[in-house]
Structure 1
Amino acid sequence: MSNQQFFVLVIGCAVVTWVPRVLPFAIANRLVFPKKFNQFLNYLPLCILTALLVQSLLVFREGQWPLVKIPELLACLPALVVGYYTKDLMKIVIVGILCIALLRIFL
């Protein structure tokens, strides 16, 4: 594969990734949604983040109950406390990363 083909491939991948993520926001900003629909949309980020959190804290195996990942759960608790009091995503991420790093070092 030549450099030019590789460059075209990277640009193509960027466009394919960008369009479905950005285009809906550009279109939705110009539309006026009903009040009930806006209330529903306000809960989507919370639902998505909760689903991601639960998925990262549990191990799912077919035919068994989910198992809790103890280090991830222990790192999650201080991050949740920081999130409750600060409501700052950067602080939450930093606390979560520091906690999981410290747990992996010492456990």
Structure 2
Amino acid sequence: MPSFEFVLLVIVGCGLVTWLNRVLPFLLLKRFELPMAAVEFLSFVPVVIMAALWFTGLFHQHLGQLPSLDWPNLISSVPTVIAAVVSKNLLVIVAVGVISLALIRLVM
């Protein structure tokens, strides 16, 4: 059984490492300027993350079989993608997605 001091040290150490990972890039970028190519490349990161989350929600994996479509998520994606193209506002996109999925689950 680990001692209390060891557990406390691990928690504080993990907190410090997490804090440094989040704060250090801001401190470094305050003093240095990234090349335009890096800024342009990093501008795609939020889109890629959202797409990855979206695609994982569209499929159900079954062992030994091909993935199957999650039809309610696919159907609710249509108005959500339309809202994304029209508004380009994350709050509107999330609201349309949640409301459309709630309505589809209510009907199905």
Do they superpose with TM above 0.5?
yes
Q: Distance in 2 between matches of 1:75 and 1:18?
A: 37
Q: Unaligned 5+ residue runs, structure 2?
A: 1-7
- Residue 67 of structure 2 corresponds to 66
State which structure, 1 or 2, has the greater radius of gyration over its C-alpha atoms. Answer: 2
CA 24–77 in structure 1, closer or farther in 2 if over 3 Å, else same: same
> Once the 2 structures are TM-superposed, how far is the Cα of residue 31 of structure 1 from its aligned partner?
2.4
Letter of the aligned partner of 2:101 in structure 1? I
Q: Distance in 2 between matches of 1:61 and 1:31?
A: 48
> Once the 2 structures are TM-superposed, how far is the Cα of residue 59 of structure 1 from its aligned partner?
1.4
1:21-54 alpha-carbon deviations (Å, 9 max, x no partner): 4443343343211222222111111111111110
CA 31–72 in structure 1, closer or farther in 2 if over 3 Å, else same: same
Report runs of 4+ in structure 1 exceeding 4 Å deviation.
12-19
- Residue 96 of structure 2 corresponds to 95
Number of aligned residues: 98
Q: Distance in 2 between matches of 1:36 and 1:60?
A: 37
> Once the 2 structures are TM-superposed, how far is the Cα of residue 20 of structure 1 from its aligned partner?
3.3
TM-score normalized by structure 1? 0.73
- Residue 53 of structure 1 corresponds to 54
